[in-house]
């Protein structure tokens, strides 16, 4: 059972207990007030002036009925939450199974394609163009399958790795070459901002996954040649790294939803651009697993996007 499901169950039980306590307290207060009123009338010899007031049964019924209705509502809510979580679990298991099954035929296509290509001699320009298209599409399919598998693994729970001190500035310098490869030969990548001459607690493999996904998004959603700025900042013990592109952008109200699993923000060409809607979801999951924050902003469609990761520097 996942941590999120336990949280929802705990919340539902706490809400039912709170409603029950309030309803019981309401009934107890009514009964106590009625007893005080009767005792006061007896001590003041007022029973000869008026008959004994009837107990406020309608109020007691009102409190009990309200408690029952609220309790039933909480139970129905809890069952709906559990049902939705069960559906999500089945969906994740199905995606993981299908993705795993797709790895074998993809590997076979890569192998047979390489063998066929090596046996051919004197390829024409048209043949080279077709083989290049084959390699690009097969590589794109392979990346999507790997993203699905990675998302399924992280949905089950992030890998348990011990955080180690990593020099942030050196990590960025080492990663620049890889980022340029992801963006493509025609891309422009620039580094700006403060020098990040300190260490952070993290996992280098997770950090590579995080920034590789951001660079891949900048490449996919570029309207022309990708132009990306990596802006670093530091204020006291806090640091931030912003990846800013000049691509298609997204509506400002989508800044939170774009991190949801399988969600793709409207950007003018939702089906023309390949992708599964998992990249930013993985980025958020990875960032949270290391205690970092991630946010996204855009001035609208056609105005680019900025994704910012922030955290605390490691104590010396």
Structure tokens at 178: 């890889």
Q: Which of 105, 101, 100, 111 minimizes the C-alpha distance to 135? A: 111
Measured between alpha carbons, how far is 313 from 316 in angstroms, rounded to an integer? 9
The mean pLDDT of 217-239, rounded to a whole number, is 87
DSSP code of residue 257: G
Alpha helices in 221-311 (DSSP H): 279-289
Measured between alpha carbons, how far is 19 from 11 in angstroms, rounded to an integer? 12
Average pLDDT score over the chain? 76
pTM score:
0.59
Q: Which residue has the higher pLDDT, 117 or 228?
A: 228
Strand-pairing partners, residue 227, are 188
The mean pLDDT of 260-284, rounded to a whole number, is 70
Measured between alpha carbons, how far is 305 from 296 in angstroms, rounded to an integer? 7
- Model confidence band, residue 220 (pLDDT cutoffs 50, 70, 90): confident
* 49: pLDDT strictly greater than 50: no
The lowest-confidence range among 41-50, 92-101, 166-175, 193-202 is: 41-50
Q: Are residues 106 and 98 in contact, defined by beta-carbon separation less than 8 angstroms? A: no
The mean pLDDT of 33-38, rounded to a whole number, is 71
Strand-pairing partners, residue 200, are 166
Rama region for 157: left / alpha / beta (φ>0; ψ in -120 to 50; rest): left
Q: Which residue has the higher pLDDT, 262 or 238?
A: 238
Measured between alpha carbons, how far is 116 from 109 in angstroms, rounded to an integer? 10
Residue whose structure tokens are 């089945």: 90
Opening angle at CA 213, ends 131 and 308, nearest 5: 150
The lowest-confidence range among 79-83, 148-152, 236-240, 293-297 is: 148-152
CA end-to-end span of the chain, whole Å? 37
- Model confidence band, residue 62 (pLDDT cutoffs 50, 70, 90): low
Q: In this structure, are strands 188-193 and 227-235 parallel, antiparallel, or unpaired?
A: parallel
- Model confidence band, residue 235 (pLDDT cutoffs 50, 70, 90): confident
Q: Which residue has the higher pLDDT, 262 or 208?
A: 208
Measured between alpha carbons, how far is 224 from 187 in angstroms, rounded to an integer? 9
The lowest-confidence range among 148-162, 177-191, 239-253, 273-287 is: 148-162
User: What pLDDT is recorded for position 295?
Assistant: 93
The lowest-confidence range among 68-72, 157-161, 308-312 is: 157-161
Q: Are residues 166 and 279 in contact, defined by beta-carbon separation less than 8 angstroms? A: no
The mean pLDDT of 127-153, rounded to a whole number, is 72
Q: What are phi and psi of 73, to 5 degrees?
A: -60, -40
Structure tokens at 58: 């309608």
* 95: pLDDT strictly greater than 90: no
């Amino acid at each position: 059972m996942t941590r999120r499901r336990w949280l929802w169950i705990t919340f539902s039980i706490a809400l039912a207990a709170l409603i029950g306590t309030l309803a019981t307290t309401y009934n107890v207060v009514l009964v106590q007030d009625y007893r005080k009123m009767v005792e006061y009338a007896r001590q003041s010899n007022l029973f000869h002036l008026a008959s004994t007031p009837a107990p406020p049964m309608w109020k007691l019924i009102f409190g009990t009925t309200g408690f029952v209705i609220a309790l039933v509502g909480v139970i129905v809510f809890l069952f709906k939450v559990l049902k939705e979580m069960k559906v999500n679990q089945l969906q994740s298991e199905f995606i993981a199974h299908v993705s795993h099954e797709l790895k074998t035929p993809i590997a076979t296509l890569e192998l047979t394609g390489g063998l066929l290509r090596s046996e051919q001699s004197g390829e024409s320009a048209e043949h080279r163009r077709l083989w290049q298209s084959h390699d690009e599409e097969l590589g794109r399919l392979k990346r999507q399958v790997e993203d699905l598998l990675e998302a399924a693994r992280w949905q089950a729970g992030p890998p348990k790795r011990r955080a180690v001190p990593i020099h942030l500035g050196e990590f960025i310098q080492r990663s620049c070459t890889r980022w340029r490869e992801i963006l493509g030969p025609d891309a422009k990548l620039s580094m700006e901002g403060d020098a990040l001459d300190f260490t952070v607690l993290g996992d280098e493999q997770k950090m590579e996954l995080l920034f590789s996904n951001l660079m891949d998004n900048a490449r996919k959603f570029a309207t022309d040649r990708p132009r990306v700025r990596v802006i670093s900042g530091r204020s006291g013990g806090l640091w931030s790294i912003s990846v800013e592109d000049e691509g298609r952008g997204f509506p400002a109200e989508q800044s939170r939803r774009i991190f949801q699993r399988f969600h793709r923000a409207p950007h003018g060409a939702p089906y023309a651009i390949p992708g599964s809607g998992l990249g930013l979801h993985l980025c958020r999951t990875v960032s949270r697993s290391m205690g970092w924050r991630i946010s996204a902003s855009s001035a609208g469609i056609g105005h680019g996007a900025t994704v910012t990761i922030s955290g605390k520097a490691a104590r010396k």
